[in-house]
Each structure stands twice: as structure tokens, then as C-alpha cells.
């Protein structure tokens, strides 16, 4: 049977092109993402600083990337005198190490009285379990695991990459399954006579099923194997992109084996075999007499299997639809609508023949009017061969539905987020850094600048699992000077003016989830894993823009992951309130930008800082936000205003694109950006363009997919077509 399947598959490779391409693409994606996954799972962070220590005891799960940057953390950069150069006994390649006095190190770290890790030197034969007992709640790391104390961000990368890999690989396999089921189903319908002949010549139903399965396996093997090398190329590109978008740590090295390749090929074969389960059963049921008579009419529109499957899928989709339309939590809405789309597509696939029949009936008059011969015949064909039509249309339905849901789901969130941000940031100017952040002293500098009425500073951080989230890390912001102008988080209960001491303000959805009200005490876990008690002073509704919680600076002091202000210092100066004023401001954009430049210069009056002023129009500014988030969607969802590099023009060189990139050992904030912000009509989400693009690409793919077999069919001489039946 294998031999027959091989011959059959080779003899009609054209029929399997669709399945082949789908499995190839699925293998490329699975391979590319699988490489990332295996890398993060296998990689132990390099042990460099603690290379001489036998064990490392770490009391905190999160430490900052490159603490050497904190030289300029707590205040203006200091000039330090180099008193010695160390040559490490072990290779230190991923980071720069600076040796400081204990007092200076403690001051710069900003964690008074706390250390991140203790290096332990032990005598030979030391029992690590004794250390474990002495360490209390702290982790004891030995051997290769010691690197985790140096690069705690690897752990974060793992938690991001595992679901992303699963999603990409799973979706790719899911789509491939549909395409394989459709194309192989189609090929089986096309050669029902041949299968009938095999049955008549004496192939048992089991042999027919095995033949179909082998065919699928051969196509899957070929397609998946062809996808391995492009998958490796994709994997390398992905690794670069993940590092560039700060999803993976900069020291991330691709470390993979045969495992992703085996998973991609195995997944492809399994997918293909699952996909042809139904087709194989149908093929085995082809009556042998079909070989002796002329082609019978297509079977009834919907078999019992299709009806049951379609109803199950619809039954799953309905409650999901109810949830996604009624929930007030946008993340839940996005997640449920994606699963909902999948169920609806599955239902559409099961009910495909009915859909195809309806479409054929609907389009028939238009097609006939448009083209009396071609259109008439096409409409008649579509109406009669609904199963075949639906086999071809299902992958297209799937493509359009899934890409629309995935894409517009995230753009809708982006849109809502940026809308909230625009409304919420009432400050006229925003100062951001292209590096890891601004020094805390910058806020004081801004406030001291003449013409500035008030300013607030935001620092992104995350909380440990708490506040009704058992295994996730809620995003949060440390808000300094919250009662000042420049920020409108839309408080619905309490007041931000009380955001001092152990105070916390919660987003509406987080407060609901934690059952917390104003003046309640809540248990939280700070970013470094320290548990704390906080009092809720306010509940706000713009949690898309500001995250789940706003922390008082005193509450977070010493517990955040970096002491830098890494979020826009919204400097509210002469906040425009009337429409006339806004118009006037818009007309004098040039002047304002000059002012922004002056302000930024005033703030950052240090020689070691390069100044970047965004000279672009507000619209360009608005448009950029979703684009940037799109590129790094998985990480950006957690942290809406991640301080990414700004594609801005350097002052005086408007066309010189410069991407200041943080390099270890640099003073952190190589560049700061002052962005003029203003209220205005919100630019609408450019969904229609993308929608057209998705439809256009799908239509193009369909045309290409159709024109190849059509050309092949037309190459057959009519005489041959009559002589040989296939």
C-alpha cells in the first residue's frame, strides 16, 4: 500500500500543491518559533560575574539589566575616576562590570539595606543543603543556574516565548490542517472513480484508508522537511527581532538541536493524518460499482457528520460570542473573540456545502449577466459541485477570518489604548528617553524650568502575582506628583492627591478582580518580589493607558526594577483648554517644537546626553504608536508605553534616521526626546486599508491557486480528456 501511495502521490503531485504549501509554511513557522523556545528552555544564562562563587543566594527574583548603568540613576551623572582595570579570570563578554566602593554601590542601587544576590565561596565538600537551610526564603543557585541571578530577564523571556511559540505553531498547524483536509478531500473527490476501481479490483476499505493516510504522510513529510531550512533562517531572523524589540535579553543566543525540526515534521505529519481522517473514511465508503457506471451525482448537501460537527462548533461559538460582546475587560474580549472566530470558521467549514450552495444561488444571476457563457457555466458548476467548491473556499474563509480577528483585535486594543493615552496625557509636552530611562532628578529639573506649571513622572514596573491575579504579573506605574496637572487617569472613586506613603490606585478591572474598594487594604507583591500592604486611595478607569495599578513613589521606593524614570515626564505647561487656543497652538507648531527643544535642553543640560527632539507632526506621532507596538505586540501589551527607540530626526538632519541603541556600559540615557503632545481629533484607526489588504491578498492567492490548475487543465487536448477518465 505504501508503494501504491508513493506512486499515487508522485503521479499527481499537482493536486497536493495546496497541502504541500500549507504544511511547508506550518513547518517554517513551527521551526522558527520552536528554535526560540528550545533556546530559552535550554539556555542557562552565562555565569560571568558569579563565576568564582560556588553558590549564589538571591533574595530577589528580579534585578535590573546592567546595573552598571545606574551610575547616573539617582542624580546627574557623576564623573568617576578610574583607579584600576580588572582582568577577569573568567570570560565576561555579555556585560560591563564596574567596581565601586560599597557605599557608592549601595547608593546607586537604590535599594537601601537590601542586596540582590550574595556570592558564596565554599570549601571543597561543602553541603549546599546547609546553605539552603540558612537562606530562608531565598533561592540558592549553583552550577549553571547561577547565571539566573545575573540574567533574571531570561525567566521573563520564557514566560513570553512559551505561549507565543505555542500560538504560532498551533495556529499554523491548525490552518494547515484545514488546507490539507480541503485539498486532500478535493483530490479524493476528483478520483472517486479510481478509488472505486481499486475497491472493485479488490482493495479492502482498510487498504483505501491506509493509502489515503500514506499519501497524506508523504506530502506532509515532503512539505515539512522542505520547511526546515527556511525555518532555521526565520528562526535566526526572529532571534534578532526578539532581541531588538527587547522581548529576549540581549545576551540571548540561539541554542537549538534537532528537537524543533523533529517537532515541526512530526507536527506536520500528525496534522496531515488528522486532516485526512474524515476524507479517508469517505474514500473507503466509495462503492465499487462507481467504477462501472458513469460518475454519480454528488452526494447530499450535508452528511450527518457535517451537521453534528457544525452544530457543536456553533454551540461553542455562541456563549463565547456572548462573553466577548458583554465583557468589560478588553483582554478577555480579545481572547474570547479569537477563539470564537476559530469556532465560527470550523462551523463554516462543516456547513461549507450549504454556504457554497447559497453563494452560488445568490451569485448566479450576476455571473450570468456579467458573462453569458463563462459566468453561466461557472454558476451552474458552483451550484452542482458544492462540496468541491466549499473545499476550495474553506481555506480562504479561514485565512480572512483569522487574520481579521487577530489583526483587528489587536488594532482595536491599540486604538483604545492610544485613545486613552491621548485623552489621559493632558500635558502639552512629554519627555521620553530613547535609552532605558531618565534620571529621577529630571523631574525636578523639569519643574524648575521657567514656564512649566506642573509635571508628573511615570515609571513602568510590574507587580508580582497579587491583586486577584494568581499567576500573572499586573502592569503598574509609579506615579510621582500625581495630583499635578498633565495627567487625567479618569478617577471614578477616591483621589490621586492621596497617592503617598503606602497608597495605591487601582484600575477598574483590577479593583473588580481583587474585590477592592477605596480605603481597603490590599496585599500586593512588589516588582522585586517583596510582599507589601497598600491602601487603595483611588480607582480609575483608564487602565488601558496606565496599567492595573498606580503606586505611590514611597511604596515602590527601593523595590522597583530600575530607579530610572522610564516613562514620559508629562510636563504640563500652560495646558490649552479652549478650542481656539488649540487651533492657535496647532498653527504655531514650529514655535512649539522650538520650545520643546529648549525645554529638553534645559532639562538635560549635560554634555553626555544627546538631544533628540521629535520634529514630526502630531499625526505622525500618533500613527507611530500602534506601529511600534505592533512590531513587538507580545511584550508591548504588558507595558503600553515601553520606552522604545524613537525613529526621530536628529536636530538639523531631518532625514537622518538614527536608532540610538542602548549598549551595555553606556550611560543609560544616551538620548532623550521631547515630544509635543496636543489634543486634537483622533486619527481614526486605518482598519479599512488593512481590511482591503487582507481581502486583496486572499483574492490574489486564490487567483494564483486557481490559475495554475486551470492552465494545466487547458493543456490537456480535448481528445485526451475524452479518452482517459480521471
Partner 1 sequence: MWSREVGPYVRFMSNSALLTSSASASAPAVALCDVRKVHGRGEGEVVALDGVSAELSPGSFSAIMGPSGSGKSTLLNIAAGLDRPTSGSVALRGTGLAQLSERRLTILRRERIGFVFQSFNLLPSLTVAQNIALPLRLDGRRPRRSAVREIAARVGLEKRLHHRPSQLSGGQQQRVAIAPALITRPEVVFADEPTGALDTQTGHGVLCLLREVVDEDGHTVVMVTHDPVAAAYADRVILLADGRVAGTLDAPSADEVAKRLARLGA
| 723 near partner 1, judged by CB under 8 A | yes
- Shortest distance (Å) from residue 183 CB to partner 1: 17
Is position 724 an interface residue for partner 1 (rule: CB under 8 A)?
A: yes
47 and 144 Cβ atoms separated by less than 8 Å: yes
Give whichever of 123 and 297 is closer to partner 1, judged by the CB atom.
297
Span of 171-179, 193-201, 468-476, 495-503 interacting with partner 1 by CB under 8 A = 193-201
Interface with partner 1, residue 261, by CB under 8 A = no
| Distance in angstroms (rounded) separating the CA atoms of residues 295 and 725 | 10
Q: Which residue has the cell 472517486?
A: 192
Among 86, 121, 202, 713, binds partner 1 (CB under 8 A): 202
**Are the C-beta atoms of residues 650 and 658 closer than 8 Å to each other?**
yes
Residue number with CB closer to partner 1 (293 or 495): 293
Residue range at the interface with partner 1 (CB under 8 A); choices 191-199, 478-486, 604-612, 625-633: 191-199
Rounded distance between C-alpha atoms, residue 713 and residue 634, angstroms: 45
Query: DSSP of 419-486, one letter per residue?
Result: HHHHHH---SEEEEESSS-B-THHHHHHHHSTT--EEEEEEEEE--S-TT-SSS--EEEEEESTTSSS
Q: Positive or negative CA dihedral for 284, 287, 293, 296?
A: negative
Q: Which region, judged by CB under 8 A, interacts with partner 1, from 198-206, 403-411, 497-505, 583-591?
A: 198-206
User: What's CA 283's distance to the chain center, in Å?
Assistant: 41
Nearer to partner 1, 194 or 472 (CB): 194
Bridge partners (DSSP) of residue 649 are 657
Taking contact as CB under 8 A, which single stretch among the options 204-212, 372-380, 445-453, 502-510 is the one that binds partner 1? 204-212
| 720 is a site residue for partner 1 (CB under 8 A) | yes
The Cα–Cα gap between 531 and 549 comes to 15
Give the number of other CB atoms < 10 A from CB of residue 443. 20
Q: Which of 194, 472, 554, 647 binds partner 1 (CB under 8 A)?
A: 194
Taking CB under 8 A as the criterion, the residue among 4, 404, 416, 642 binding partner 1 is 4
Q: How far is the CB of 303 from partner 1 (least distance, A)?
A: 17
Piece of the chain touching partner 1 by CB under 8 A; list 134-142, 426-434, 530-538, 716-724: 716-724
Q: Residues binding partner 1: what is the number (CB under 8 A)?
A: 31
Give Cα separations from 232 to 223, 248, 267, 439 (angstroms): 15, 18, 16, 41
303 near partner 1, rule: CB under 8 A: no
Q: Given candidates 594, 605, 619, 725, which one binds partner 1 under the rule CB under 8 A?
A: 725
For partner 1, the binding residue among 289, 325, 326, 710 (CB under 8 A) is 289
Give the one residue of 159, 293, 497, 710 binding partner 1; rule: CB under 8 A.
293
Cα distances (Å, whole numbers) of residue 127 to 53, 143, 149: 14, 14, 20
- 668 to each of 99, 272, 424, how far by Cα in Å? 17, 51, 28
Least distance between partner 1 and beta carbon 185 (Å): 19
Which of 127, 471, 607, 726 is the binder for partner 1 (CB under 8 A)? Answer: 726
Among 8, 95, 390, 459, interactor with partner 1 by CB under 8 A: 8
Q: How far is the CB of 194 from partner 1 (least distance, A)?
A: 6
Instruction: Supply the minimum distance, in Å, between the C-beta of residue 11 and partner 1.
Output: 3
| Position 201 contacts partner 1 (CB under 8 A) | yes
If the CB atoms of residues 84 and 723 are measured against partner 1, the closer one turns out to be 723
**Alpha carbons 629 and 490: distance in angstroms, whole number:** 24
C-alpha–C-alpha distance, residues 363 and 169, integer Å? 37
- Which range of residues in 58-66, 132-140, 201-209, 626-634 is near partner 1 by CB under 8 A? 201-209
Run of H or E residues at 224 = helix 205-244
Three-state secondary structure call for residue 633: helix
Beta bridge partners of 222: none
Q: Does 695 bind partner 1 (CB under 8 A)?
A: no
User: Distance between CA atoms of 187 and 216, rounded to whole angstroms?
Assistant: 11
The CB-of-301 to partner 1 minimum distance in angstroms stands at: 16
Shortest CB 710 distance to partner 1, Å: 20
In whole angstroms, how close is the CB of 275 to partner 1 at the nearest point?
A: 21
Q: CA 347 to CA 340: how far, in whole Å?
A: 10
Could you tell me the sign of the dihedral formed by the alpha carbons of 533, 538, 541, 542, in that order? Answer: negative
Out of 181, 218, 291, 392, which residue is the one contacting partner 1 (CB under 8 A)? 291
Interaction between residue 197 and partner 1 (CB under 8 A): yes
Residues forming a β-bridge with 142: 55
Joined grid coordinates for residue 352:
461549507
Q: Among 77, 92, 200, 423, indicate the residue that binds partner 1 (CB under 8 A).
A: 200
Is 714 among the residues that bind partner 1 (CB under 8 A)?
no
Strand-by-strand arrangement of the 117-120 sheet: 117-120, 55-58, 139-142
292 binds partner 1 (CB under 8 A): yes
Which are the contacts of 366, defined by CB distance < 8 A and separation ≥ 6? 375
Does position 205 interact with partner 1 (CB under 8 A)? The reply is yes
Quick one: 35 or 203, whose CB is closer to partner 1? 203
Under the criterion CB under 8 A, does residue 198 sit at the interface with partner 1? Answer: yes
Q: Pairing between strand 653-658 and 549-551?
A: unpaired
**What is the pairing mode between strands 531-540 and 491-494?**
antiparallel
Closer of 11 and 580 to partner 1 (Cβ)? 11
Residue with cell 529639573: 445
All residues at 6 or more sequence positions from 273 whose CB lies less than 8 Å from its CB, including other chains: 213, 216, 217, 220
Q: Mark the segment that binds partner 1 (CB under 8 A) among 3-11, 297-305, 594-602, 688-696.
A: 3-11
Closer by beta carbon to partner 1, 14 or else 365: 14
Q: Does 304 bind partner 1 (CB under 8 A)?
A: no
Q: Does position 655 bind partner 1 by CB under 8 A? A: no
Q: Which of 11, 450, 579, 652 binds partner 1 (CB under 8 A)?
A: 11
Q: How far is the CB of 723 from partner 1 (least distance, A)?
A: 6
Count other C-beta atoms under 10 Å from residue 84's C-beta. Answer: 5
Q: Is residue 89 within the footprint of partner 1 (CB under 8 A)?
A: no
Q: Does 281 bind partner 1 (CB under 8 A)?
A: no
Spatial distance between the Cα atoms of 386 and 573, rounded to a whole number of angstroms? 66
C-alpha cell at 622: 500618533
| Helix (H) or strand (E) segment spanning residue 686 | none
Smallest distance, partner 1 to C-beta of residue 364, A: 25
**Interface positions, 125-184, toward partner 1 (CB under 8 A):** none
Contact residues for partner 1, defined by CB under 8 A: 3-4, 7-8, 10-12, 193-194, 197-207, 287-289, 291-293, 720, 723-726
Amino acid at each position: 500500500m505504501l508503494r501504491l501511495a508513493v506512486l499515487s502521490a508522485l503521479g499527481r503531485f499537482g493536486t497536493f500543491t495546496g497541502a504541500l504549501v500549507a504544511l511547508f509554511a506550518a513547518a517554517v513557522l513551527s521551526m522558527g518559533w520552536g528554535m526560540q523556545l528550545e533556546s530559552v528552555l535550554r539556555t542557562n544564562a552565562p555565569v560571568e560575574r558569579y563565576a568564582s562563587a560556588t553558590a549564589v543566594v538571591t533574595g530577589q527574583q528580579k534585578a535590573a539589566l546592567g546595573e552598571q548603568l545606574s551610575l547616573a540613576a539617582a542624580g546627574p551623572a557623576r564623573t568617576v575616576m578610574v583607579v584600576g582595570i580588572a582582568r577577569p579570570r573568567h570570560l565576561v563578554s555579555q556585560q560591563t562590570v564596574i567596581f565601586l566602593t560599597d557605599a557608592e554601590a549601595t547608593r546607586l542601587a537604590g535599594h537601601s539595606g537590601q542586596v540582590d544576590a550574595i556570592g558564596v565561596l565554599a570549601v571543597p565538600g561543602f553541603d549546599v543543603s546547609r546553605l539552603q537551610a540558612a537562606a530562608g526564603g531565598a533561592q540558592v543557585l549553583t552550577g549553571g543556574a547561577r547565571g539566573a541571578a545575573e540574567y533574571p530577564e531570561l525567566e521573563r523571556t520564557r514566560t513570553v516565548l512559551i505561549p507565543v511559540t505555542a500560538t504560532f505553531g498551533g495556529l499554523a498547524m491548525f490552518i494547515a490542517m484545514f488546507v490539507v483536509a480541503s485539498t486532500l478531500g478535493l483530490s479524493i473527490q476528483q478520483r472517486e472513480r479510481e478509488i472505486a476501481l481499486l475497491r472493485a479490483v479488490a482493495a479492502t476499505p482498510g487498504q483505501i484508508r491506509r493509502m489515503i493516510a500514506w499519501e497524506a504522510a508523504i506530502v506532509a513529510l515532503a512539505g515539512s522537511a522542505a520547511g526546515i531550512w527556511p525555518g532555521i533562517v526565520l528562526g535566526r531572523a526572529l532571534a534578532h527581532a526578539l532581541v531588538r524589540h527587547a522581548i529576549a535579553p540581549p545576551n540571548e543566543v540561539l541554542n537549538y538541536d534537532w528537537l524543533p525540526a523533529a517537532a515541526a515534521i512530526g507536527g506536520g505529519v500528525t496534522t496531515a493524518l488528522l486532516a485526512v481522517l474524515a476524507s479517508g473514511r469517505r474514500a473507503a465508503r466509495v462503492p465499487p460499482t462507481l467504477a462501472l457506471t458513469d460518475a454519480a451525482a454528488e452526494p447530499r448537501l450535508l452528511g450527518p457528520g457535517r451537521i453534528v460537527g457544525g452544530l457543536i462548533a456553533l454551540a461553542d461559538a455562541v456563549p463565547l460570542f456572548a462573553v466577548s460582546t458583554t465583557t468589560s475587560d478588553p483582554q478577555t474580549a480579545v481572547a474570547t473573540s479569537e477563539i470564537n472566530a476559530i469556532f465560527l470558521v470550523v462551523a463554516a467549514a462543516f456547513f461549507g456545502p450549504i454556504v457554497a450552495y447559497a453563494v452560488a444561488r445568490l451569485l448566479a444571476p450576476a455571473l450570468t449577466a456579467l458573462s453569458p457563457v463563462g459566468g453561466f457555466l461557472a454558476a451552474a458548476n458552483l451550484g452542482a459541485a458544492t462540496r468541491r467548491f466549499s473545499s476550495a473556499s474553506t481555506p480562504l474563509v479561514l485565512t480572512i477570518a483569522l487574520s481579521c480577528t487577530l489583526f483587528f483585535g489587536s488594532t482595536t486594543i491599540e486604538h483604545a489604548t492610544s485613545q486613552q493615552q491621548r485623552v489621559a496625557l493632558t500635558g502639552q509636552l512629554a519627555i521620553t528617553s530613547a535609552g532605558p530611562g531618565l534620571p529621577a532628578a529630571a523631574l525636578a529639573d523639569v519643574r524648575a524650568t521657567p514656564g512649566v506649571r506642573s509635571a508628573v513622572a511615570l515609571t513602568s514596573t510590574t507587580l508580582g502575582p497579587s491583586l486577584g491575579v494568581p499567576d500573572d504579573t499586573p502592569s503598574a506605574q509609579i506615579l510621582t506628583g500625581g495630583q499635578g496637572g498633565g495627567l487625567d487617569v479618569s478617577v471614578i472613586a477616591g483621589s490621586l492627591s492621596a497617592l503617598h506613603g503606602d497608597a495605591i490606585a487601582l484600575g477598574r478591572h483590577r479593583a473588580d478582580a481583587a474585590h477592592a474598594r477605596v480605603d481597603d487594604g490590599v496585599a500586593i507583591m512588589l516588582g522585586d518580589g517583596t510582599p507589601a500592604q497598600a491602601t487603595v486611595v483611588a480607582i480609575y478607569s483608564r487602565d488601558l493607558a496606565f496599567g492595573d495599578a498606580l503606586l505611590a513613589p514611597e511604596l515602590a521606593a527601593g523595590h522597583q526594577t530600575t530607579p530610572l524614570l522610564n516613562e514620559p515626564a508629562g510636563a504640563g505647561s500652560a495646558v490649552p483648554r479652549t478650542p481656539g487656543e488649540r487651533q492657535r497652538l496647532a498653527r504655531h507648531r514650529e514655535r512649539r517644537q522650538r520650545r520643546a527643544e529648549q525645554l529638553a535642553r534645559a532639562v538635560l543640560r549635560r554634555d553626555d546626553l544627546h538631544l533628540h527632539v521629535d520634529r514630526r507632526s502630531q499625526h505622525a506621532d500618533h500613527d507611530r504608536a500602534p506601529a511600534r507596538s505592533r512590531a513587538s505586540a507580545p511584550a508591548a501589551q504588558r507595558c503600553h508605553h515601553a520606552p522604545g527607540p524613537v525613529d526621530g530626526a536628529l536636530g538639523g538632519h531631518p532625514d537622518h534616521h538614527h536608532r540610538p541603541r542602548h549598549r551595555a556600559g553606556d550611560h543609560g540615557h544616551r538620548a532623550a526626546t521631547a515630544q509635543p503632545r496636543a489634543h486634537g481629533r483622533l486619527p481614526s484607526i486605518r482598519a479599512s486599508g488593512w481590511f482591503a489588504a487582507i481581502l486583496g491578498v486572499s483574492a490574489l492567492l486564490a487567483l494564483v491557486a486557481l490559475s495554475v490548475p486551470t492552465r494545466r487543465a487547458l493543456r490537456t487536448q480535448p481528445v485526451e480528456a475524452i479518452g482517459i477518465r480521471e
